[in-house]
Amino acid sequence: MKITLSQLSFHTGNFAENTSKIISAIQEAELLGSDIIVFSELATCGYPARDFLVFDDFINQALESITSIAKHCTKIAAIVGSPRVNNLSKGKALFNAAYFLCNGEIAHITDKTLLPNYDIFDEYRYFEPNKNFEIIAYKEFKIALTICEDLWNIVENPIYPTSPMDELIKQEPDFIINIAASPYSKTQIAERQKVLQSNALKYQIPVFYVNHIGAQTHLIFDGGSCVVEKNGAIIHELAYFKEDTKSFEIIKNSESIDVIVANPSKSRERNQLKDIENALILGIKQYFQKLGFKQAILGLSGGIDSALVCYLACKALGNENVWAILMPSQFSSQHSVDDSVKLVQNLQIKHDIIPIENTFQSFLNSLHEFYKDTPFGLAEENLQSRTRGVILMGLANKFGHILLNTSNKSELAVGYGTLYGDMCGGLSVIGDLYKTEIYALCEYINKDKEIIPSNILSKAPSAELRPDQKDSDSLPPYEVLDALLNNYIEEEMGPTQIIQAGFEPNLVQKILRMVNMNEWKRWQAPPVLRLSKKAFGPGRRVPISGKYLS
């Protein structure tokens, strides 16, 4: 039997486009002689659909898509993820389902059993868990069809009381098919492969895995669909961060199931920095495509954060679609302007210089009656940032651009940013990268030639909102800060554990208090492209007005 894995990008709620892509892939696979083509989880409606799932019309369109797709499955079978109505008298309104389509109709439906309800996942809000376990018999083969999380309960300290494969294996399936929408993080690729290999080894049958590809707002799906032999060997991986399709031959012998692939991919070590770069480029590109925008604008300060965002935007959108605005003030150094000009020349993008000193002074004049007899301080610093924000948003609105935010995770964590100023934007590109990670990524980008000017990488970070200002005036060295923040945010360590890890107690109390006291700012920040296992946004839910460490 020939199985085709089809790793496609789907647009949430765009049923016409999603259905058309699925049907086209089915027709191509049929011409190649495939018996089954497999698509990812919730392919008809896109993942995550979130509260679109509460609308009857949305679910009806999903069913119409399945019905339409089934008509094209007369000479080939297809496995397609889609929501379906729970017709039982009790439970949640929907199931997260995998449809097995053949002979022009729905031949079988498998519902998802294990519904993740942690980090960015919220599936139990919408779906009822499956309680019936049945394999699919098709062309002399028996298939254990599972959906994403259904294979993840094999790790140590499982979070679910049951495992679907423990039930399905009793029916002696020949292989596993798993359809998924597994989002990218810096650790997810390795963890995902380990889970798939563990299943193949435990149940001693091959695993065919199809993952989603593309980006949906803050989530980035990296693809990496693959086939794992029963001995745990990954015999082929599909592409990462782009659409891909691959077919496999399955031969049933008296003693085993053999999987044959032409031109198998070579096993290779992944470069995490390259993966991060590709993930961010894909995240930007699809955010613009799915919203119907083409052009980006951003403020270029001469610092490393805006330089990195500018480079990534050019890679995602094309340098002809990126507009950089330099907005020097009386506190800006000449090298900041020079470094920014050198960067835009390297990238060959449009740029303009709009000095803000006069605009800033007009705000001070308006506020003079209230600010008089008080020293220059944080309010005046923030006014400069907000002046820049007003200019950028005015240009973005006037010319139909999306403003890209350039704040990093270190700054967002401790509140080192100005609401309605440098925190403006439609998308936070690097808000899930710590400052030290940004330096590492920029050095990687410059590995072959200097794209980001070396002076941007070597000079001390500064907001340049007052004379001779440095980030180190307010924050510990980023190497220390980022390690502390990672322990608190990603590793979810409390203050006692962090102190035991070697951090100075007063610094721990100060930084953790800054993180907690600035949650209100992050609620008003733009969506952050997710790169870590705990990004700011829907995956980290803490109260604004809580008292913990405040």
Q: What is the pLDDT of residues 437-447, one digit of tens each?
A: 999 999 999 99
Query: What mean pLDDT do residues 306-334 have?
Result: 94
CA-angle at 19, arms to 14 and 22, nearest 5°: 130
pLDDT band at 267 (very low <50, low <70, confident <90, very high): confident
Inform me whether the pLDDT recorded for 82 exceeds 70: yes
Chain mean pLDDT for the chain: 95
Inform me whether the pLDDT recorded for 330 exceeds 80: yes
pLDDT digits 0-9 by tens, 509-546? 999 999 999 999 999 999 999 999 999 999 999 999 88
CATH architecture of 274-472: 3-Layer(aba) Sandwich (3.40)
pLDDT at position 99: 98
Inform me whether the pLDDT recorded for 449 exceeds 60: yes
- For the domain covering 2-268, report its CATH number: 3.60.110.10
The C-alpha atoms of residue 181 and residue 188 are separated, in whole angstroms, by 12
Residue of 21, 30, 73, 112 with catalytic role = 112
The C-alpha atoms of residue 52 and residue 502 are separated, in whole angstroms, by 46
Q: Could you tell me where the DSSP H helices lie in 32-163?
A: 56-70
Inform me whether the pLDDT recorded for 463 exceeds 90: no
Stated as kind and residue range, the H or E segment containing 3 is strand 2-7
Residue of 30, 41, 229, 237 with catalytic role = 41
pLDDT exceeding 70 applies to what percent of the chain?
A: 99
Sheet holding 402-405, edge to edge: 350-353, 322-326, 296-299, 402-405, 427-428
Neighbouring C-beta atoms of residue 395, cutoff 10 Å: 16
**150-164, 313-327, 387-401, 486-500: least confidently modelled range:** 150-164
pLDDT band at 249 (very low <50, low <70, confident <90, very high): very high
Query: What mean pLDDT do residues 330-337 have?
Result: 84
| Paired tokens of 535 | 């990004």
Q: Where are the beta strands (DSSP E) in 86-203?
A: 94-102, 105-111, 136-138, 141-147, 175-179
Inform me whether the pLDDT recorded for 354 exceeds 90: yes
pLDDT at position 335: 84
Supply the pTM of this predicted model.
Answer: 0.95
Inform me whether the pLDDT recorded for 95 exceeds 90: yes
Cα–Cα distances (Å) from 135 to 41, 100, 173, 251, 500, in that order, read 18, 11, 7, 19, 50
Which of the pair, 546 or 97, is modelled with greater confidence?
Answer: 97
CA-based torsion, 211, 217, 220, 223: positive or negative: positive
| Paired tokens of 437 | 């990670």
Cβ(69)–Cβ(22) under 8 Å? yes
Residue of 148, 226, 310, 442 with catalytic role = 148
The C-alpha atoms of residue 42 and residue 421 are separated, in whole angstroms, by 38
User: Is 148 considered catalytic here?
Assistant: yes
Where b means 16+ CB within 10 Å and e means fewer, 96-105 reads: bbbbbbbeee
Cβ-Cβ contacts under 8 Å for 203 (sequence gap 6 or more): 165, 169, 176, 230
Cα–Cα distances (Å) from 232 to 142, 201, 227, 235, 426, in that order, read 20, 5, 10, 9, 43
Inform me whether the pLDDT recorded for 493 exceeds 80: yes
Query: What mean pLDDT do residues 10-39 have?
Result: 98
The C-alpha atoms of residue 494 and residue 413 are separated, in whole angstroms, by 15
AA identity, residue 151 = L
Q: What are the domain boundaries of the chain?
A: 2-268, 274-472
CA-based torsion, 295, 301, 307, 308: positive or negative: negative
Inform me whether the pLDDT recorded for 550 exceeds 70: no
As a three-state string, the secondary structure of 73-104 is CCCCEEEEEEEEECCCCCCCCEEEEEEEEECC
| Paired tokens of 453 | 């000017």
pLDDT band at 182 (very low <50, low <70, confident <90, very high): very high
Query: Which of helix, strand or coil describes residue 197?
Result: helix
User: Is 442 considered catalytic here?
Assistant: no
pLDDT at position 35: 98
Which of the pair, 265 or 463, is modelled with greater confidence?
Answer: 265
pLDDT at position 256: 83
User: Is 112 considered catalytic here?
Assistant: yes
Query: What mean pLDDT do residues 371-382 have?
Result: 93
